[in-house]
Amino acid sequence: MSKSLKRVVRALHEAGHDITPLEMPSETRTAQQAADAAGCHLDQIAKSIIFHGETSGEAILFITAGGNQVDAAKASEAAGELLGKADAALIRAQTGFAIGGVSPIGHLNLIRAFWDARLSDYDTVFAAAGTPRHIFPIAPDVLRDLSGAVLADFTD
């Protein structure tokens, strides 16, 4: 088991949730790949989109429904600072995950996070579990609590 996957499993178990990530037969790097693998609606995929805070220098997480796109202006307003593209090095350094497997939980460092209300329309959502082939099912309210995400309007 990879270090990244172990961190996600540990975060789930330490929070009292007996959830085991699912290993998919193919990659789940994109929301569509994950939805196809899980056999669920595209919007049941909780995408982890990371931006770079231009003032803070921090990675900022936006957890959004698979079919939604993050609007950079709305996201900047929610974060209270101008946001730019986060490069792979920043994402890896602050979250501990590589692009294509960024989980909304289990980060190396505390990260500010924002929540897309569309995810709360479902009983179960699926999120990346730290690798491009692992996802985990979870109730949206539980995922929101575990990630510390704040509800915000940041999608197109």
In this structure, the number of other CB atoms found within 10 A of the CB of residue 3 comes to 11
Q: Output DSSP code: residue 155.
A: B
Strand partners, 61: 50, 113
**Which CATH class, in words, describes the domain spanning 3-151?**
alpha beta
pLDDT values of the chain reduced to their tens digit, one per residue, 156 residues:
899 999 999 999 999 999 999 999 999 999 999 999 999 999 999 999 999 999 999 999 999 999 999 999 999 999 999 999 999 999 999 999 998 899 999 999 999 999 999 999 999 999 999 999 999 999 999 999 999 999 999 999
Tell whether pTM > 0.85. yes
**Domain spans of the chain?**
3-151
The predicted pLDDT at position 136 comes to 98
- SS3 labels along 41-105: CHHHEEEEEEEEECCCCCEEEEEEECCCCECHHHHHHHHCCCEEECCHHHHHHHHCCCCCCCCCC
Q: Which H or E run contains 126?
A: strand 125-128
Strand partners, 83: 53
The predicted pLDDT at position 93 comes to 96
Between the alpha carbon of residue 26 and those of residues 23, 33, 36, 102, 131, the distances in Å are: 9, 8, 10, 17, 11
Between the alpha carbon of residue 108 and those of residues 1, 6, 44, 102, 122, the distances in Å are: 17, 12, 25, 11, 28
Q: Which H or E run contains 128?
A: strand 125-128
